[in-house]
């Protein structure tokens, strides 16, 4: 019974997070993804240099990035953008990214 209650609260958290992401603009999603990828890079550096870091944070951050990119793709589908065109837009977006240190620094 406890496992089911914990699982339903996790689902509720996820749906709340998705509502927040869906409320964001495309530009804000892009900026947040860039920041989170910077954080992931720092975590990988900590892992290599054997500093303390929480493995669960790494996993959760990757999932958060995936959710944001999923919402971004859902919006592209609503606009009628085909997968091939989407890949071109993604490549163009990746080239336009200006890498900066994540806000946590």
Higher pLDDT: 16 or 25? It is 25
| C-alpha torsion angle, residues 4, 19, 71, 57 (rounded to 10) | -60
Q: How confident is the model at residue 33 (pLDDT cuts 50, 70, 90)?
A: very high
Average pLDDT, the chain: 86
Determine the Cα–Cα distance for residues 101 and 34; give it in Å rounded to an integer.
10
At residue 66's C-alpha, the angle toward residues 51 and 12, to 5°, is: 95
Structure tokens at 95: 């080239």
Residue 97 has pLDDT above 90, yes or no: no
- Domains contained in the chain, CATH given: 1-96 (1.10.287.310)
CA 105 to mean position of chain CA atoms: 19
Tokens describing residue 21: 């992401």
Taking CB atoms within 8 Å and a gap of at least 24, the contacts of 51-60 are none
- Sign of the Cα pseudo-torsion (73, 25, 64, 50, in order): positive
Q: Average the pLDDT over 77-100 and give the result.
A: 89
pLDDT at 4: 61
Q: Which two tokens stand for residue 54?
A: 């929480």
| Statement: residue 102 has pLDDT above 60 | yes
pLDDT level of residue 13 (50, 70, 90 thresholds)? confident
pLDDT at 2 over 60: no
pLDDT digits (tens, 9 = 90+) for 61-88: 999 999 999 999 999 999 999 999 999 9
């Amino acid at each position: 019974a406890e496992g089911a209650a914990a699982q339903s609260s996790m689902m509720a958290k996820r749906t709340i997070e998705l509502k927040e992401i869906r409320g964001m603009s495309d530009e804000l999603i892009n900026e947040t993804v860039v920041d989170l990828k910077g954080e992931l890079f720092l975590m990988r550096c900590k892992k290599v240099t054997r500093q303390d870091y929480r493995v669960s944070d790494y996993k959760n951050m990757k999932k958060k990035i995936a959710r944001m990119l999923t919402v971004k793709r859902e919006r592209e589908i609503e606009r009628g953008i085909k997968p091939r065109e989407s890949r071109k837009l993604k490549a163009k977006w990746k080239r336009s990214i200006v890498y900066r240190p994540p806000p946590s620094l």
